[in-house]
Structure 1
């Protein structure tokens, strides 16, 4: 995962033994040496084979390595880079050939995924793979403003991105809740607007270099003119509300503080800031946000209204376009091209800008939404609509998000659709939980952006994702292990088996309903609750949905026993829950645990044709309706399947 462009088997087998070595043929092999070292460590750890050589060996005519990698040039980390590769595995030789070192890195990840075994040996099955990405921009955005995420969190997610062939890290560094980068030109930004949680410039360089070694570009985002509370906390004179004072925002949502686009000091500030910061990021693109500005402070400021009249700016949207064009000119002097959320797309924005589409189809836009509109108007564009993983929606929904669909485009318009980005907004995630919100769903989205359009088999994807899910631990992702960390915290280190059973059928509330209005949680609220231990695509819920479907279609004894097995687990679980010493956090789950147990007992009676009283029936209906309601910011996602089972048993 991602599935290759072309793959053919040859019925051979390359055995992994202690004599395995890897050679590199290509200029400036720094990236490949790192990739090969990582490959050999992971290969050895998976197989248990004690390799004689733990690093790439020098290329030698006298001794040819069993695994040979060759490439022509080092990638520049630009959108024109060639990431294709050819991989051939035979019984005594593995050849990996690529145009660039980054293409070879992508091929190494495929090679590692091929590793399999029988009871006596580990081996690589004989294959011939020709592979290349469908889209050139395959990104992950991590918001570090709402909750700060230290460099170790960023690094492990970069490693995970590389493992599924993603190539753009979009770093959302500023917002209402914090300014997260050191500025020596305007030090009040990190001193007053970060709560002391920010990256030094040396740390920024460290991450950019680390990403480069993995073949990943880094795009910074400084969100302006809205989402500016943190900036204005440090420099209130740049705001649109005269004589206002500002404080770092602790809640979530869209807020009024906005930079004043009629104040020349704002442009001096931004030019000085960007002149300082831009060199830290070698990439040619620079994201300026530009989203969700409602312009309330602009409307209330008579000087701003006068400026609009004098400059024939009829609306706030026109005023923001004026602001964006000034920004584009600043960035152009710094050899940067502007990227912005789709609100920036107006007739006067230069075609060098990238339009980042986060909204879907809505009134006034052609089929396909802002992504297609931007491409047809001549802009390069990337898609995030459908890839907002913080909405806590199923991996299947994300996997079925097709960037282009069946819309007819000219070859030139198609070329302008560069790809897409997964967006991880962090209002409700901390370093403890962020990995579980990003992974493994992002691996499926990575396949959507890499693999051919026709690769859409959901069952096949889910089967492969199950393997990728635990392999992500190999590169440091904490999404599996930290679940139990949270459950132990909830229980004060008691036996957590009863909580695990509940968490395997519950999912966090979806589409921002967990924190509706943005005021249930502050940035420093507890995020070690039951909802934080629960994940999207709860594994036993998915299993129950399938066994209920199988049974209601076939009514076979085999499928019946599958249903009974799960129902018995839930029927017995409340006894285990009751044995735990209660605390206020666990008390919130009492009703959920009890009603799940009682409904499961009723369904067991029904499926086993036991006598059911009217009182049993009435209790069942009441308890089932209770289970359909949210509990402690989660939903029991098997409630409807339980009802479907009951209807089939009537």
Structure 2
């Protein structure tokens, strides 16, 4: 009987919780609903003893919702409105707060202005949600973030954004309780910060003769001069002050030793070769980098002196990523330096470079943080790592007692597509939809409890090669910023994603009021290929009522009278499925289109000997036999990417199957370090153990086919098909990323 009563109690509590779930983002750690409600008065009188900057911010944010008067004496309030910032003994953490809403009033308790400010963000959302009804349910919220670093990055080098736009960006972070703004200020394509000791950095390095446009593989340019664009030191101070008033730390990034073309264009004597150089017009990675000689270090120290005078942040980001070693290998000075300091190789020279910079930064009372390539050759003693190539760098840093910020491209790169690439603006590549961001856990399972303490937080990055203006910035960060905020706060619940999606859609009305150009991808039809009956089926879903989905199978545009979606659509032959969402007879979404090319491998069992890179692993091995041919201009969800690895795939037909042709596609996009395969081999087997080679092609044949490989293998009849596609290996000199591992991209493996 007691067990039965307990179950009833839990079910009742769960039902009550579901019915009273708040539309807050990020969701608080603890919410307790109480009896009664707070009636929102006509106007408020605010205690003059409240923290002034934070309270003024609150008044400005709510001026459309609420009316305020200022009390002359402490504790004088109108009606039942009560705001209190006095702390109590159990609220000592700077970002912890307690917000109590009762019929008598509203009370905020925190140990710091920071906690008070975070509480105000929650309160603003409550007022926005309940202003129309005029009453807020009584509740007590006790809340604090899980991670101390909750960041967003903005690249202003590829495309520049004004001071006012940067302030808007910071406002978005504040609204959703992020606390770190990572400002990417220098790169190959532009130097964006005034350095008074070196005026040519902005005179020459802040402009370029033209910009790349369209997909990278198109290799086209707009022919229009870009710049000069940069921030004066007074503007930098203005932004830093603005952010501080919102309890946001601005972390500047000054790239070194790579991504230095804009700087070398101004001061070519800092390179290993004589130049001349110019700021890059293409995107990607370039061989000319800072030469590790005394005059270079003196230059960088002087630059950092001015940077540190502008930015009071504990950490200074020094980049450290994607530094080709080509010039260092050819440089007599670099080779002598390697020998003199008993360094192993050029990777050791990278470590020497970073450690020398770190010593200088440490001498000024600051610390460095860099991308995970700063692990090359040994990590600087006090450095923190920003893990972007995956989670490996963060794991390595944490296990060695270094702080890490987790920002893996597969979850946290907001320059990736967030919906069907065919219906989205041109993006860098990848596929990172809202639900994937929300599913991210910044603490790798490989770490024990003690090591996990070194995971300082999480950050998303916005690189702007393909982001031309601020409206597109808004489009790329919203609504993914909302998922990031809840991940960073530590209350994301991927198992209950649909509930979060509902809160996101509710938040859209506030973004509409602000005029934010957010992506509406979650309204569009989402398609998922699944294995079914020794083949594949196509599942359609939407954030709306699924009864509104209409689709066609003949490639025509769907309309309100088209087939109503009820269950997964069997894909029995090559066809194009088009789908859209309709409401009250009106089209409410973009039309989604998916073409299937069915072959004898489609939907069969597949095994990969080596896994793809985390950044380009959407769908896993199944992506290679799902019936979808990849678009060579979009590296979205239809390609698998392998960094320095071969593709070795074994397909089990299930029974002996006749075929005479095998096909696959591979990519060439050297600016992104992606190279055609070096060779390919086709094998067959009847037992899955003993394989026979039936076809082999080399690099010349792959080049002549431009990566679209169709191989006549004769009349075959086997149960297993194995294909080995060889990675190009180490990128040769003269190419972007020389001396680094090449990427191999593969889409569908088919047999006819």
TM-score, length of structure 1 as denominator length: 0.72
Partner residue in 1 for 2:595: 625
Is residue 558 of structure 2 the alignment partner of residue 600 of structure 1? Answer: yes
Is residue 422 of structure 2 the alignment partner of residue 436 of structure 1? Answer: no
Partner residue in 1 for 2:195: 183
Point out the more displaced range, 142-151 or 617-626.
617-626
Contact 2:350 2:377 in 1 (8 A): no
Q: Could you say if the C-alpha distance between residues 24 and 259 of structure 1 is closer, same or farther in structure 2, counting changes exceeding 3 Å?
A: same
Matches within 5 A, 1:57-68: 57=71, 60-63=74-77, 66-68=81-83
Equivalent of residue 104 in structure 2, options 72, 81, 92: 92
Q: Could you say if the C-alpha distance between residues 559 and 399 of structure 1 is closer, same or farther in structure 2, counting changes exceeding 3 Å?
A: closer
Per-residue deviation, 1:161: 0.6
Q: Could you say if the C-alpha distance between residues 619 and 147 of structure 1 is closer, same or farther in structure 2, counting changes exceeding 3 Å?
A: closer
Q: Aligned to 1:14, what secondary structure does the other structure show?
A: strand
Per-residue deviation, 1:606: 9.0
Matches within 5 A, 1:209-248: 209-241=241-273, 243-248=274-279
Partner residue in 2 for 1:358: 388
C-alpha separation between the residues in 1 aligned to 2:61 and 2:143?
19
Contact 1:30 1:213 in 2 (8 A): no
Task: Name structure 2 gaps, 5 residues minimum.
Answer: 1-24, 208-227, 418-431, 530-536, 567-572, 579-592, 598-627, 639-752
Partner residue in 1 for 2:455: 417
Q: Could you say if the C-alpha distance between residues 18 and 358 of structure 1 is closer, same or farther in structure 2, counting changes exceeding 3 Å?
A: same
Per-residue deviation, 1:59: 5.3
Is residue 552 of structure 2 the alignment partner of residue 537 of structure 1? Answer: no
Q: Could you say if the C-alpha distance between residues 345 and 405 of structure 1 is closer, same or farther in structure 2, counting changes exceeding 3 Å?
A: closer
Partner residue in 2 for 1:389: 414
Q: Could you say if the C-alpha distance between residues 371 and 632 of structure 1 is closer, same or farther in structure 2, counting changes exceeding 3 Å?
A: closer
Q: How many residues align?
A: 513
Equivalent of residue 5 in structure 1, options 3, 22, 29: 29
Q: Aligned to 1:223, what secondary structure does the other structure show?
A: strand
Per-residue deviation, 1:407: 3.7
Per-residue deviation, 1:619: 7.9
C-alpha separation between the residues in 2 aligned to 1:473 and 1:120?
16
Q: Aligned to 2:289, what secondary structure does the other structure show?
A: coil
C-alpha separation between the residues in 1 aligned to 2:331 and 2:255?
22
Contact 2:576 2:596 in 1 (8 A): no
Partner residue in 2 for 1:153: 165
Per-residue deviation, 1:439: 1.3
By relative contact order (CA 8 Å, sep 6+), the higher-ranking structure is: 1
Partner residue in 2 for 1:136: 148
Is residue 314 of structure 2 the alignment partner of residue 299 of structure 1? Answer: no
Matches within 5 A, 1:32-431: 32-44=54-66, 51-53=67-69, 57=71, 60-63=74-77, 66-71=81-86, 82-115=94-127, 121-195=133-207, 196-241=228-273, 243-261=274-292, 263-345=293-375, 349-361=379-391, 369-385=392-408, 386-392=411-417, 393-411=432-450, 413-430=451-468, 431=470
Partner residue in 2 for 1:529: none
Contact 2:180 2:248 in 1 (8 A): yes
Per-residue deviation, 1:236: 0.5
Per-residue deviation, 1:151: 1.1
Point out the more displaced range, 390-399 or 303-312.
303-312
Contact 2:194 2:201 in 1 (8 A): yes
After superposition, the C-alpha distances for 1:239-269 in whole angstroms (9 at most, x for unaligned) are: 122x2111110111111110001x1100111
Per-residue deviation, 1:42: 4.6
After superposition, the C-alpha distances for 1:291-314 in whole angstroms (9 at most, x for unaligned) are: 011211111223322221222112
Q: Aligned to 2:299, what secondary structure does the other structure show?
A: helix
After superposition, the C-alpha distances for 1:503-559 in whole angstroms (9 at most, x for unaligned) are: xxxxxxxxxxxxxxxxxxxxxxxxxxxxxxxx47352224999xxxxx9999xxx98
After superposition, the C-alpha distances for 1:463-522 in whole angstroms (9 at most, x for unaligned) are: 111122342345x56324xxxxxxxxxxxxxxxxxxxxxxxxxxxxxxxxxxxxxxxxxx
Matches within 5 A, 1:463-502: 463-474=502-513, 476=514, 478-480=516-518
C-alpha separation between the residues in 2 aligned to 1:636 and 1:414?
32
Contact 2:191 2:230 in 1 (8 A): yes
Superposition RMSD on alpha carbons, in Å?
A: 3.5
C-alpha separation between the residues in 2 aligned to 1:313 and 1:635?
38
